[in-house]
Amino acid sequence: MEQVLSKIGRLNEIGIALSAASDVNILCDKILTGAMELTNSDGGSLYRMSDDKAFLEFVIVSTHSLDIHMGGSTGREINFPPIPLMVNGESNKNNVVSSAVHDEQTINIPDVYHAKGFDFSGTRKFDQQTGYQTQSILTIPLKNHHNDIIGVLQLINAQDELTDQTREFDLADQQLAESLASQAAVAITNKQLIEEQRELFESFIRLLAGAIDEKSPYTGGHCKRVPELTMMIADACHHSQSAALKDFYMTEKDRYELTIAGWLHDCGKVTTPEYVVDKATKLETIYDRINTVDTRFEVLKRDAVIENLKQKLESIPKDLSLDYSRIDKELEEKITQINNDRDFIRASNIGGEFMDEALQQRVKDIAKLRWVNSKGVHADFFDDNEIQNLTIAKGTLTPDERQIINNHMAVTIKMLDQLPFPKHLLNVPEYAGGHHERMDGKGYPKGLTRNEMSLQARMMGIADIFEALSASDRPYKTGKPLTECLRILGFMNKDNHIDPDIFDVFVREKIYLLYAQAFLPKNQIDEVNHADIPGYEE
């Protein structure tokens, strides 16, 4: 009785361990090891039902006396072929394992060499090759809480605890093994459901990120590259021995949480209008209005030519020998000035890193020109909206349009705050929602300072900036070489925009180069001299 109670207690312990197992391979190891322990078996195998329910596939094989351990968490491949459930269109009942599935019941065989009704030729061949002596077999179908068979547990050669002699599996062995098999089936199913839910969750996140990238041809890949770079930075900080980061440590759960945050960092962009995201030039709306402006310049040149000809016609009756060179020269100079102004406006229409006040003033001066529009009315050359757009100092967006873009962060945080994240993902909204904040509190949307942000959010901030600087798919610029990206990032560090300790690791560990080799074309990967990077000291 004490022995039975001890085994029941051990069964409970194994059941608890099965519930706690986080990996399917480890779970399978515990199932087979626990069953062999409870029944004092020398060997055993665990099979799983194939996805098409046509075969039983080996998951783990173990035999103590032969020191055989394959499959499961061992990493050793099992070369045995799967067992078919059907042969020539009929149920395969020659094999004891497949027969247990078809009959949906346990099969307990005291001695395989005297058993009838099953084909044990494979077993005998194995015994001949290894010198093993297979005798007793206990085969149990694994049924989950839906009464579906998901696999089979097979135990081989029960051992007498006093003599170590092989014996048959008794009723107590069978009942214990069946009880464990029932718990195991439920544990496996639950683990599979969790994995399937996790896979669905991750697929949905990647689908959302892909949809955002597909929404605009100019930001394609951004939502995929930022999480990659974020994790490169995080891993470098994890291994850093610097005084500021020596206490930073990430578990696998921490890494998973940050990865999910990286994929969701721009989810709010699903609400951002395409005409703002895709604004490639300053005058672009539904179309690029630079073509309309070009037409106005052509009208100015036409009117100049007409004025030239009118002057000549008016002078003919007065003096047929009049020299028109002065008039023609004035026309030539006027046409040249118009062409220069047109070329300047074309160049101004393309967004850049900076447009100084002198260039902005020239736009305003050109705006004062008068032209005759299609209605025959003399009008200013540019309206207020065109002046506002053409004098944008940086990029292609007006302040109102930039506010629309910036609002994606508020939307991101709002969206993520509404999701019931489980305990191990509770920090996702904070990580994802902080990558546009600044160390000096001048960022958005919350104006957080460095001390109010997690290290992970600060890492993602650097990743987002560097990806944007180096990306070659933005509407208003080409991808910058590494030296230029690091120069700008260095100035941002000096301006208290990004975290100095993480920036130090980013440069010192050459994370920029690791990222560049994976994602940037070769023509952007130039030679970097750390001494030339502002705000960085070796």
**How high is the pLDDT of residue 68?**
92
Would you give the DSSP letter of residue 111?
A: -
CB-based contact 345:293 (threshold 8 Å): yes
Spatial distance between the Cα atoms of 209 and 221, rounded to a whole number of angstroms:
9
What are residue 159's phi and psi, to 5 degrees?
-110, 135
CA distance 510 to 517: 11
Q: What are phi and psi of 407, to 5 degrees?
A: -65, -15
Choose among 127, 176, 177, 173: nearest CA to 152: 177
pLDDT digits over 94-137, tens only? 999 999 999 999 999 999 999 888 988 888 988 999 899 999 99
SS (H, E, C) 352-372: ECCCCHHHHHHHHHHHCCEEE
Nearest Cα neighbor of 360 from 344, 376, 375, 371 is: 344
What is the distance between the alpha carbons of residues 525 and 513, in angstroms, rounded to a whole number? 8
Residues 152 and 119 sit within 8 Å (Cβ to Cβ): no
Q: Residue 62, CB half-sphere, CA atoms under 13 Å: how many?
A: 24
What DSSP character marks residue 83?
Answer: E
Task: Chunk the chain into consecutive blocks of 10 residues (it has 538) and report each block's average pLDDT, rounded to whole numbers.
Answer: 60 65 77 88 93 92 93 87 92 93 94 90 89 94 88 94 90 89 83 83 85 66 89 96 90 94 86 74 84 92 90 71 78 93 92 85 92 86 92 86 80 86 91 92 91 95 92 68 93 94 95 94 92 87
- Residue 215 in contact with residue 269, Cβ under 8 Å? yes
Phi-psi region of 52 (alpha: psi -120 to 50; beta: other; left: phi over 0): alpha
pLDDT of residue 204: 87
- What pLDDT, on the 0 to 100 scale, is given for residue 49? 92
C-alpha distances in Å from residue 193, one per residue of 18, 329, 489: 15, 84, 44
Please report where in the chains the tokens 């070369």 appear, as a residue.
Answer: 79
Name the burial class of residue 464, with classes exposed (0-12), middle (13-18) and buried (19+) by CB atoms within 10 angstroms of its CB: buried
> Using one digit for the tens of pLDDT, what is the confidence trace for 239-297?
998 988 989 999 999 999 999 999 988 888 777 777 777 777 888 887 888 999 999 99
Q: Are β-strands 149-159 and 137-143 bridged in parallel, bridged antiparallel, or unpaired?
A: antiparallel
DSSP for residue 451: G
- In this prediction the pTM is 0.68
**Residue 431 near residue 421 (C-beta atoms within 8 A):** no
* Residue entry with tokens 């007793």: 136
Q: Which residues pair with 379 in a beta bridge?
A: 371
Distance CA 382, CA 163 (A): 103
- Are the CB atoms for 503 and 535 separated by under 8 Å? yes
Q: Residue 71's beta-bridge partner residues?
A: 60
3-state class (DSSP) for residue 324: coil
Backbone angles phi, psi at 48, to 5 degrees: -125, 150
pLDDT at 324: 75
Cis, peptide link before residue 399, omega less than 30° from 0 = no
Helices 222-239 and 455-470 pack at an angle, to 10 degrees, of 130
* 154 contacts 112 by C-beta, under 8 angstroms: no
Tokens of residue 143, six digits: 């049924």
Cα(48)–Cα(247) distance, rounded to whole angstroms?
Answer: 43
- Number of alpha carbons in the 13 Å side-chain half-sphere of residue 122: 10
